Amino acid sequence: MAWLVLVVSGVLEAVWAVALGRSEGFSRLVPSLVFGVGLAVSMAGLAFAMRTLPVGTAYAVWVGIGASLTVVFGMVTGSEPVSLVKVLLIVGLVGCVVGLKLAH
């Protein structure tokens, strides 16, 4: 259960990161609200997962999921340039996250 909550929390990290960028310094209401709710739920899920998973592993997986999804979202929407090197590095990052799960 902790792993599932951690993965969902990692996805929500990407949600709040994108919302933060779109909030334009918290001057836009809807992205600011999405940021606040996403951040709170993401942190709560991370805290829940850390009750049973090692802190370092849980944090690395959470950040890895959030960072990769945020970059992929940027590439898909066109706000982030796409390159073969970036794609390979994201694949490597995801591979490392999966490796941490398998090593647990």
> Which tokens is 98 given?
């999966």
State the residue range of the domain holding 27: 2-103
This model's pTM is above 0.75: yes
Name the token pair of 65: 């999921």
Quick one: pLDDT at residue 104?
72
- Residue 36, token pair as written in the block: 């606040």
Query: Each residue's pLDDT tens digit in the chain (104 positions)?
Result: 999 999 999 999 999 999 999 999 999 999 999 999 999 999 999 999 999 999 999 999 999 999 999 999 999 999 999 999 999 999 999 999 889 888 87
The total of structural domains in the chain comes to: 1
Instruction: Check if the beta carbon of residue 74 is closer than 8 Å to that of residue 19.
Output: no
DSSP structure class, residue 58:
H
For residue 24, the model assigns a pLDDT of 96
Per the listing, tokens 């849980």 go with: 58
